[in-house]
């Protein structure tokens, strides 16, 4: 899906923040006509048979991970909130945990366990890399999860967290899916702007933070999905925020 050509003249114009803000004020996404808002456990139970990671937010998440984690060790990797396990499928020795047994079953991996990331069944200091990607927005209070990331991370190891960007919520985007019957469901979601502060309280040091915005690499997702008009509307909008933390050795 990645496009290799540079931005067009229109995209260069849209890259101006003032232009993007004006467009989004007039071209807000259509309201999600959901049957109801589901809690995380029920939502992913229903979504599991149709689940796919090939979405704009997951693609941006992968882009950020490739850029921010390049060269870092992952000999003992934990994916906390791994879903169907697609991110760790080709990483030898990687382990995943997810709240949804149905999602884990859909992925068919053996190196995963069903469980809560707020209280994980792993030894302290077990992992040199902990991922928690596009998960913490489903938690009302992410601090217990951050404490667990610290506990299971080796001193000197890293914790990588991504979340649905607050700007996307303000612009009208929602976390929703279609079940097998075609009904639309919105998933329980909370906006967090304090990841750095929560991580610091838990004992982590910030290494880097970056945002993932709609741009040329997502052009085909939009054109073959929700359309060129939506791409023009969203160009430059931040959809994913990413944070890389380190657990100090002392």
Domain boundaries, the chain: 9-246
Q: Distance between CA atoms of 172 and 4, rounded to whole angstroms?
A: 29
Q: Which two tokens stand for residue 8?
A: 């067009």
Q: What is the percent of the chain with per-residue pLDDT over 90, rounded to a whole number?
A: 66
Higher pLDDT, 22 or 172: 172
Three-state SS annotation for 125-138:
CCEEEEEEECCHHH
**Res. 183: pLDDT tops 50:** yes
Q: Distance between CA atoms of 146 and 97, rounded to whole angstroms?
A: 15
* pTM of this structure: 0.87
**Res. 97: pLDDT tops 70:** yes
Q: What is the average per-residue pLDDT within 12-23?
A: 53
Higher pLDDT, 45 or 250: 45
**Res. 161: pLDDT tops 60:** yes
In Å, the largest CA–CA distance within the chain is: 53
Confidence of residue 181 (pLDDT cuts 50, 70, 90): confident
Dihedral (CA of 94, 95, 101, 105) sign: positive
The answer regarding whether domain 9-246 maps to CATH 3.40.50.150 reads yes
Q: Output the pLDDT for position 105.
A: 95
**For the chain, what is the radius of gyration of the CA atoms?**
18
Cα 76 to its chain centre, rounded Å, is 21
**Res. 74: pLDDT tops 70:** yes
**Residues 130-156: tens digit of each pLDDT:** 999 999 999 999 999 999 999 999 999
Q: Output the pLDDT for position 110.
A: 94
Q: Output the pLDDT for position 35.
A: 56
**Residues 47-64: tens digit of each pLDDT:** 998 887 668 899 999 999
Q: Distance between CA atoms of 114 and 154, rounded to whole angstroms?
A: 22
Q: What are φ and ψ of residue 190, in 5° steps?
A: -125, 140
């Amino acid at each position: 899906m990645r496009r290799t050509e540079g931005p067009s003249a229109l995209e260069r114009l849209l890259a101006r923040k003032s232009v993007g803000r004006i467009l989004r004020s007039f071209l807000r996404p259509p309201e999600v006509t959901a049957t109801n808002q589901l809690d995380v456990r029920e939502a992913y139970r229903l979504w599991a048979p149709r689940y796919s990671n090939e979405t704009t937010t997951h693609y941006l998440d992968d882009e950020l991970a490739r850029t921010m984690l390049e060269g870092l060790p992952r000999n003992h990797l934990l994916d906390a909130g791994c879903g169907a396990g697609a991110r760790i499928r080709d990483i030898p020795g990687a382990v995943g945990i997810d709240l949804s047994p149905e999602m884990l079953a859909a992925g068919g991996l053996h190196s995963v366990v069903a469980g809560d990331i707020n209280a994980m069944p792993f030894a302290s200091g077990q992992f040199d890399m902990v991922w928690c990607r596009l998960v913490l927005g489903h938690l009302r209070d992410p601090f217990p999860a951050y404490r667990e990331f610290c506990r299971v991370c080796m001193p000197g190891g890293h914790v990588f967290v991504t979340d649905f960007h607050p700007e996307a919520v303000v612009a009208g985007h929602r976390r929703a899916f279609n079940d097998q019957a075609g009904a639309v469901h919105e998933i329980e979601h909370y906006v967090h702007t304090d990841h750095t502060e929560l991580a610091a309280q838990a004992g982590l040091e910030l290494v880097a933070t970056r945002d993932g915005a709609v741009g040329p690499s997502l052009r085909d997702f939009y054109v073959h999905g929700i359309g060129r008009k939506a791409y023009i509307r969203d160009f430059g909008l931040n959809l994913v925020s990413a944070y890389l933390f380190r657990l100090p050795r002392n």
